[in-house]
Amino acid sequence: MPQSKPEVRQSRASETRKRTRIQLEKEELILEAALDVFASHGFRGATLDQIADQAGLSKPNLLYYFKNKETIHRQLLDRLLDNWLRPLRELNENGEPVSEIKSYIRRKLELARDYPRESRLFANEILQGAPRIGDELSDLKILVDEKAKIIRNWSDAGQLKKCDPHHMFFAIWATTQHYADFDVQVQVVLGGMGQGEGRFEDAARFLDQLFVEGLAP
């Protein structure tokens, strides 16, 4: 019974075989361009022509490296999640509670400052109901539950005020990512005041105060 596979081989570059130099370069180029476009228009609002344009490639050439729009988007999200959750993974059970939380906030704020497009890509996806990332969110839940337990232990030991750990995480995510996701609004409201990256230092100061006074026992 010989299987006659049609051996359809679209977009070879995405096969699991070893990649050539050009493949690695172009894939990076495309992902970079796609990040720009997806972050500022959302999945449905972004077009392959835009991405190809931004990357300086023709559309068919782009599709030689990624078999379709969704694959590009998915890969960006996968890559993102890993970096995005690192600060939370690094929250150390054995550290000093308040300074652990302070440095978690600091790191999240640095991500918002240094990787605003990634933040917006994620925000777009969640905002629109996470239709293409829903599954990965359960991993997030596991991680958060684990870290929430640490917070609760600190609370119980009197090293932190009593508070709902999950909502504490929400508050930290919201306040830090706000500076990336709502950047336009922040800039308008601050006007000339927080020009350049100064606003991130002001934000860091404010958030430090808010959470330390709000959470330290």
Partner DNA sequence: GTAATCTTTGACCGGCTGGTAAATTTTTTA
Partner DNA sequence: TAAAAAATTTACCAGCCGGTCAAAGATTAC
Residue (29 or 212) nearer to its own copies, CB: 212
Q: Which single residue is written with the structure tokens 């051996």?
A: 7
Question: Taking the CB of residue 187, how many other CB atoms lie within 10 A of it?
Answer: 15
Query: What's the count of helices (H) and strands (E) in the chain, helices before strands?
Result: 10, 0
Nearest CA among 188, 187, 184, 147 for reference residue 168: 147
Residue 69 site contact among DNA, its own copies, none (CB < 5 to 8 Å, cut-off depends on kind): DNA
Interface residue with its own copies, options 12, 22, 114, 206 (CB under 8 A):
206
Residues 6+ apart with CB under 8 A from 117: 35, 36, 39, 40
Interface residue with DNA, options 32, 40, 67, 107 (CB under 7 A):
67
The 94-113 site mask, x for binding its own copies (CB under 8 A), equals --------------------
Residue 23 site contact among its own copies, DNA, none (CB < 5 to 8 Å, cut-off depends on kind): DNA
> Which tokens in the block code for residue 98?
């308040």
Residue 202: CB minimum distance to its own copies, A: 6
Contacts to DNA from residues 2-61, by CB under 7 A:
10, 12-13, 17, 20-23, 26, 46-50, 57-61
Say which amino acid occupies 50.
Answer: Q
149 binds its own copies (CB under 8 A): no
Q: Apex CA 44: angle with CA 41 and CA 50, to 5°? A: 60
Residues at the contact surface with DNA, assessed by CB under 7 A: 10, 12-13, 17, 20-23, 26, 46-50, 57-61, 63-64, 67-70
